């Protein structure tokens, strides 16, 4: 921290800080209104019976139900599955984009971003047209004789995963691409001049230097996918039921706001836990990198 | 210039006058069904009463009703619900009792009568099939629907215990009249759930909306679909390779209710009475194959002879059917749905 000796300058700096802070007031107000208040309301609701009396019964009911835990497992399977595929597909893609000539990279980037401009509902139903039994993909497969029977591509876990990866891939790609683009090209050249193979360069130079981007992308993918509703509801065929569809069922079939609120809080805790885990892992890796640097 | 001011005031008053007509808000399910109700029922009734009727559409009436009543921000005067939801809403005291001084108490059969939600039309949950897959020999009973060896094919069922557990018991040889007494025992419910679990590997899709079930049937995504007769009839009429049977259908009714604390209670009751006159509920079948609950709707040739075949409650179709029991669902719905969801999660 810098210490300003002149009292006038110090007062000036204080005023400036206050002014900058006041600029954020509208945003803080909106966040408070749109995020914090509803969460407080949900927490309160989770302790109320349908008659409006205080109870912990909602928690007992939700936490003792096997349905909650199977929904939790499905949620994690979907999130981790999406994340794994995003890393496997997105990282090489980001590498290709980062190493392409700027003009080509911009063009490719436009294609990557294109799906982001389309509503998720439209995209999800679009997949239905492609993946269903007499859809384009199955028609091509059976028509060309590659498969005798149409493949079960949708109304199951596979279809849900396809839809979710399609939605998340651009969002994963952006931070990874940004990190890779910022890598000093001289480092890559240096590693090549020292006799490293391309594989070694990727493993020892590029990936460690873009780890921060991969981490940010992973957090985005995980936090988003934990709450996914439309995609499993449309492409899951009723067989893929994560926590979000459990909440919907609890509300629409049972009108049980208390239990639905508990499920919502469960989602919130899950997100916080995952966030903390990612941050801890990031610090661990960053620490190790510094350690090896010294050795 | 005062004459100008006066005449302007007079003009303003006369322009404001029509607003004094009673304004009533009705909440329907929207879509083809909502339009049918507007054309056949509340549109003409509003004209007759001189009411200014606003329509709101919602796919989940009960959840919305509960939100309006518990928050005290009630905007709707008349709401369209399924009868089980109506009974559920009444049990949670979300509805005003129907005013049977305004509505004719003898216009519905005693078995269907409700103090809170006035049943006006009926539909069947039916067995429908793809005619390309099965040609002249489709499965026509629930037992055959379950017979995957004799009738291979992809099934689609509703992702809900409602109607599914009744149908599961019918497929297991329970007589229509005994369905609810069997279901009321723990072993009976378990039997139904086991039966559903047996067909589960052959269920390609568990659908969640009526429109989705029609789409599955139309696209041939599923060969056998349990759906509502109105949906199956629409697919068939639109030239889809589909047919259906009323044999063993589960008959449900939809009803109209007034939310507790509705702004225009009395006008709402009058609108319900007027929009459910026999000629109007009969006219509804011009648009959608949901037949009147009021027996008078079937009299006097209000509904053409050939259309009767497409209505679940028409005399020749009702023989093998089960009437969905709204009271049973209010008492046992949560337990049944939980057992169903657990079966789905296994």
Going from N- to C-terminal start, the domains of chain B cover 20-122+253-308, 124-251+324-345
For the domain covering B20-122+253-308, report its CATH number. 3.40.190.10
| B142-146 own/partner pairs: CB under 8 Å, 24+ apart | B142/B167, B142/B168, B142/B170, B142/B171, B142/B248, B143/B171, B143/B172, B143/B173, B145/B171, B145/B199, B145/B224, B145/B226, B146/B171, B146/B195, B146/B198, B146/B199
Across the interface, whether the CB atoms of A254 and B337 are under 8 A apart is answered: yes
pLDDT at B32: 81
* CA atoms lying within 13 Å on the CB side of residue B167: 28
For residue A236, the Cα-to-chain-centroid distance in whole angstroms is 19
Task: Please write the tens of the pLDDT for every residue from A154-193.
Answer: 999 999 999 999 999 999 999 999 999 998 888 888 988 8
Which residues in B have their CB inside 8 Å of a CB on A? 60, 62-63, 66, 88, 92, 159-160, 204-208, 219-221, 334, 337-338, 341-342, 344-345
User: Is A44 an interface residue toward B (CB < 8 Å)?
Assistant: no
Inter-chain CB proximity B206 and A132 less than 8 Å: no
- What's this model's pTM, rounded to 2 decimal places? 0.82
- Closest in A233, A237, A252 to B60, CB measured: A252
CATH code, A114: 1.10.3720.10
Could you give the angle at the alpha carbon of B318 between the alpha carbons of B317 and B319, nearest 5°? 95
3-state SS, residue B117: strand
**Min Cα–Cα distance to chain A from B171, Å:** 22
Residue A294: pLDDT band (50, 70, 90) is very low
| Residues facing residue A54 across a β-bridge | A48
**Is A14 in the B-facing interface, judged by CB distances under 8 Å?**
no
The 10s digit of each residue's pLDDT in A99-156 is 889 899 999 888 888 878 888 889 999 999 999 988 999 999 998 989 888 899 999 9
Cβ distance of A255 and B204 shorter than 8 Å: no
| Chain B environment of A70 (Cβ under 8 Å) | 345
In a domain, A183, yes or no: yes
The A residues from 77 to 96 touching B (CB cutoff 8 Å) are none
A201-258 confidence digits (pLDDT tens):
888 888 989 988 999 999 999 989 999 999 999 999 999 999 999 999 998 888 888 9
A239 part of a folded domain: yes
Between chains, do A239 and B206 touch, taking CB under 8 Å as contact?
A: yes
| Subunit contact A252:B342, Cβ cutoff 8 A | no
- For chain B, say whether A155 makes contact (Cβ under 8 Å): yes
Which of A70, A239, A255 is the closest to B66 by Cβ? A255
Query: Which residues on A lie below 8 Å from B344 (Cβ)?
Result: 238-239, 241
- Answer whether B20-122+253-308 and B124-251+324-345 agree in fold: yes
ipTM of the complex: 0.82
Looking at residue B6, its pLDDT comes to 53
**In a domain? residue A294:** no
Has residue A260 been placed in a domain?
Answer: no
- Bridge partners of residue A48, in order along the sequence: A54
Total count of domains within chain A: 1
- B341·A50 Cβ contact <8 A: no
B242-257 and B78-82 beta bridge pairing: antiparallel
> Is the Cβ pair B221, A132 closer than 8 Å?
yes
User: Which of B151, B99, B103 lies closest to B127 in space, CA to CA?
Assistant: B151
CB A253 within 8 A of CB B63: no
At B5 the pLDDT is 55
Does residue A250 sit within a domain? no
Looking at CATH, the fold of the domain delimited by B124-251+324-345 is given as D-Maltodextrin-Binding Protein; domain 2 (3.40.190)
Domain that holds residue A81: 69-243
Cβ of A61 under 8 Å from any chain B Cβ? no
């Amino acid at each position: 921290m810098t210490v300003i000796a002149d009292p006038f300058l110090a007062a000036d700096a204080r005023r400036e800080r206050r002014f900058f802070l006041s600029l954020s007031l509208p945003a803080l107000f909106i966040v408070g209104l749109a995020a914090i208040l509803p969460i407080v309301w949900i927490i309160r609701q989770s302790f109320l019976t349908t008659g409006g009396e205080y109870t912990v019964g909602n928690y007992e009911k939700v936490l003792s139900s096997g349905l909650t835990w199977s929904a939790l497992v499905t949620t994690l399977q979907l999130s981790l599955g999406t994340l794994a595929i995003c890393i496997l597909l997105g990282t090489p893609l980001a590498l290709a984009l980062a190493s392409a000539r700027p003009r080509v990279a911009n063009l490719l980037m436009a294609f990557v971003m294109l799906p982001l401009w389309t509503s998720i509902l439209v995209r999800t139903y679009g997949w239905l047209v492609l993946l269903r039994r007499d859809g384009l993909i199955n028609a091509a497969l059976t028509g060309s004789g590659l498969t005798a029977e149409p493949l079960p591509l949708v109304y199951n876990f596979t279809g849900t995963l396809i839809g979710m990866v399609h939605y998340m891939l651009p969002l994963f790609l952006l931070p990874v691409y940004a990190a890779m683009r910022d890598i000093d090209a001289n480092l890559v050249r240096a590693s090549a001049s020292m006799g490293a193979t391309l594989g070694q360069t990727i493993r020892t130079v590029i990936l460690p230097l873009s780890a921060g981007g991969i981490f940010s992308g992973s957090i985005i993918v995980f936090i988003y996918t934990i709450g996914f509703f439309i995609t499993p509801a449309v492409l899951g065929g009723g067989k893929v039921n994560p926590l979000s569809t459990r909440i919907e069922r609890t509300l629409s079939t049972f009108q049980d706001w208390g239990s639905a609120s508990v499920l919502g809080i469960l989602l919130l805790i899950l997100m916080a836990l995952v966030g903390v885990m990612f941050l801890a892992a990031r610090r661990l890796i960053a620490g190790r990198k510094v350690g090896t640097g010294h050795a | 210039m005062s004459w100008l001011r006066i005449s302007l005031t007079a003009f303003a008053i006369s322009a404001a006058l029509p607003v004094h007509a009673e304004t009533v808000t009705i909440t329907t399910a929207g879509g083809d069904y909502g339009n049918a109700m507007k054309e056949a029922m509340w549109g003409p009734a509003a004209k007759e009463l001189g009411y200014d009727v606003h329509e709101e559409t919602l796919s989940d009436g009960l959840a919305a009703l509960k939100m309006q009543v518990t928050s005290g921000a009630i905007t709707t005067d008349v709401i369209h619900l399924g009868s089980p939801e109506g009974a559920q809403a009444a049990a949670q005291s979300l509805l005003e009792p129907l005013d049977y001084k305004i509505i004719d108490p003898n216009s519905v059969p005693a078995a269907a009568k409700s103090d809170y939600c006035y049943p006006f039309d009926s539909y069947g949950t039916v067995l429908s099939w793809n005619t390309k897959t099965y040609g002249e020999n489709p499965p026509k009973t629930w037992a055959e629907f379950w017979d995957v060896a004799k009738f291979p094919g992809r099934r689609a069922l509703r992702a809900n215990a409602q109607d599914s557990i009744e149908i599961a018991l019918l497929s297991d040889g329970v007589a229509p009249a005994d369905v609810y007494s069997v279901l009321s025992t723990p072993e009976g419910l378990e039997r139904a759930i086991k039966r559903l679990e047996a067909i589960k590997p052959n269920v390609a899709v568990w659908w969640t909306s009526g429109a989705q079930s029609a789409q599955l049937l139309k696209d041939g995504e599923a060969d056998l679909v349990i759906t509502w007769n109105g949906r199956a009839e629409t697919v068939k009429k639109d030239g889809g390779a589909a047919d259906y049977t009323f044999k063993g259908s589960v008959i449900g009714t939809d009803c109209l209710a007034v939310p507790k604390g509705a702004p225009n209670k009395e006008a709402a009751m009058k609108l319900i009475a007027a929009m459910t006159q026999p000629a109007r509920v009969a006219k509804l079948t011009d648009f959608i194959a949901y037949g009147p609950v009021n027996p008078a709707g079937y009299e006097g040739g209000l509904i053409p002879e050939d259309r009767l075949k497409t209505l679940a409650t028409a005399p020749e179709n009702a023989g093998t059917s089960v009437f969905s029991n709204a009271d049973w669902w209010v008492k046992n719905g949560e337990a049944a749905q939980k057992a169903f969801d657990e079966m789905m999660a296994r």
